[in-house]
Amino acid sequence: MKIAIPVDEKSLETSVGQSFGRTPYYLIYDTVSKESVFLDNSAVASQGGAGIKAAQTIVDNNVNALLTPRCGENAAEVLKAAHIKLYKTIKASIKDNIDALNEGKLSLLEDIHPGFHGHGGK
Amino acid sequence: MKIAVLSGKGGTGKTLVSVNLASVAKESIYIDCDVEEPNGHLFFKPTDIKSEKISIKIPFADEKLCKGCRKCVDFCKFNALAYIINKLIVFDEVCHSCGGCVIFCPEQALSEKEKIIGEVQRGVSENVAVITGILNTGEASGIPIIKKLLCGIPAGNEISLIDCPPGSACIVMESIKEADYCILVAEPTLFGVHNLNMVYELVRLFDKPYGAVLNKCLEGENPAENYCLEKDIKILGKISFDSELGTLNSNALISVRENKKYRDMFSSLLQIVTKEVQHEPVINP
């Protein structure tokens, strides 16, 4: 299974990024081959709709599951349309979350937030 | 003459100033551009209201024609489009209606549909024509409504008061674009100075003539007044922190219609403002 995790740095030792759409990088990890690839998040500085663009990147990388602390409704809609499963991360460490997923200890992310669709100055 | 009333944050007294100035004028137009939470109508209680729905254009895709080239997805700076499993998804509330995706689609698979985002209400309250913009909850931008509100406002001597949204974002820029004069309303606090500075920088950027009204003035030092002196901002008037005025206002009453004291105060403020506007050279005759 191919999974994606928003991360702060391009390293397996880094912590989970706190925003799905605005995180600087994604870790794409294959749970079978143990192969890992880091992607730049091209949506990080978007004027708006970062979650949508980020989700498109995740979909285009043929990911099966996303591990994230939170996710906005627009991103969730894109991911749902691509049948990508959303799991809620439980710890800061990447490795702990991957282990937890492998052991079936991660629960599905249910609380999809309304997103921050502000356009400055409100 | 179009007079815009603005401030860096809500609750400083934009509506108080614009509603009362509009009411003391012999005849005037009051335009509520604070489309996210218009409240001028609560004071005016206008009658003979005519509503007009405002819509924007949103793209929609013909799935049979779409070949999945993603030119539209890549073009959209607001990321309102995604292409997932051979299907284009449009996020209506993220779209800014620029129409670029429709132009760029090489297959002519995209066309535009109308989407209602709010309305403009026109009514009358005694000597004031009251125009209110209302943006539906959840919509991204009130700009199309403000454009509609301000089109057809006469440029001559007739007085129009434009009650702006708070802040200095694009929605405020749109509201002051055609204004002949800007009134900056400020509170007597350090936070008030910060907010005054935001709108001060904005009106300078737009090269608009401006002056300040200091609201809620107390005894003693007034940081907003100091700021005006320091930046050489003309102080048009001062409104004291006054529980009687506050009570009238919180009961949604127009103070100039209730009490001669306030009628005199806002009359003289209007005179000062009118004089200021006339002193300004005409930029676009």
What is the interface pTM, i.e. ipTM, of the complex? 0.85
Tell whether the model's pLDDT for residue A122 goes beyond 60.
no
Pair B30, B153: CB distance under 8 Å: no
Q: Report the pLDDT value the prediction gives residue B156, as an integer from 0 to 100.
A: 81
A49 touches chain B (CB under 8 A): yes
* B68 plus B35 within the same structural domain: no
A52 touches chain B (CB under 8 A): yes
A74 touches chain B (CB under 8 A): yes
* B82 plus B198 within the same structural domain: no
Tell whether the model's pLDDT for residue A121 goes beyond 90.
no
* Residue A33, token pair as written in the block: 């081959």
DSSP string for residues in A65-105: EEEES--BHHHHHHHHHTT-EEEE--SSBHHHHHHHHHTT-
* B87 plus B6 within the same structural domain: no
Confidence of residue A120 (pLDDT cuts 50, 70, 90): very low
CATH, residue B90: 3.30.70.20
pTM of the model: 0.77
CATH, residue A8: 3.30.420.130
| B87 part of a folded domain | yes
At B283, phi and psi to the nearest 5? -80, -45
| A46 part of a folded domain | yes
- Whole-number Cα distances in Å, A11 to A14, A27, A65, A70, B70: 5, 8, 20, 21, 31
* B138 plus B43 within the same structural domain: yes
Q: How far is A46 from chain B (nearest CA, A)?
A: 7
B97 touches chain A (CB under 8 A): no
Alpha carbon B253 to chain centroid distance?
Answer: 21
Per the prediction, chain B carries an average pLDDT of 95
B78: domain range? 63-108
Q: Report the pLDDT value the prediction gives residue A92, as an integer from 0 to 100.
A: 85
* B68 plus B193 within the same structural domain: no
* B223 plus B271 within the same structural domain: yes
Q: Report the pLDDT value the prediction gives residue B136, as an integer from 0 to 100.
A: 94
* B206 plus B248 within the same structural domain: yes
Q: How many CB pairs under 8 A join A and B?
A: 66
Name the nearest CA neighbour of B15 among B223, B176, B166, B240. B166
| B285 part of a folded domain | no
* B12 plus B151 within the same structural domain: yes
Quickly tell me which residue has 């779409």 as its tokens. B66
| A109 part of a folded domain | no
Tell whether the model's pLDDT for residue A117 goes beyond 80.
no
* B203 plus B162 within the same structural domain: yes
| B234 part of a folded domain | yes
Tell whether the model's pLDDT for residue B197 goes beyond 70.
yes
Q: Report the pLDDT value the prediction gives residue A113, as an integer from 0 to 100.
A: 84
| B173 part of a folded domain | yes
**Number of domains chain A contains:** 1
* B98 plus B25 within the same structural domain: no
* Residue B48, token pair as written in the block: 């003979």
| A119 part of a folded domain | no
| A122 part of a folded domain | no
Neighbours of A107 (CB within 10 A): 10
CB contact under 8 A, B94 and A52: yes
CATH, residue B8: 3.40.50.300
A61: domain range? 2-102
Residue numbers in A near B77 (CB within 8 A): 46-47
**Number of domains chain B contains:** 2
Tell whether the model's pLDDT for residue A116 goes beyond 70.
no
* B213 plus B193 within the same structural domain: yes
* B171 plus B148 within the same structural domain: yes
Q: Which residues 192-251 of B are in CB contact (within 8 Å) with A?
A: none
CB contact under 8 A, A74 and B91: yes
* Residue A91, token pair as written in the block: 């710890």
| A116 part of a folded domain | no
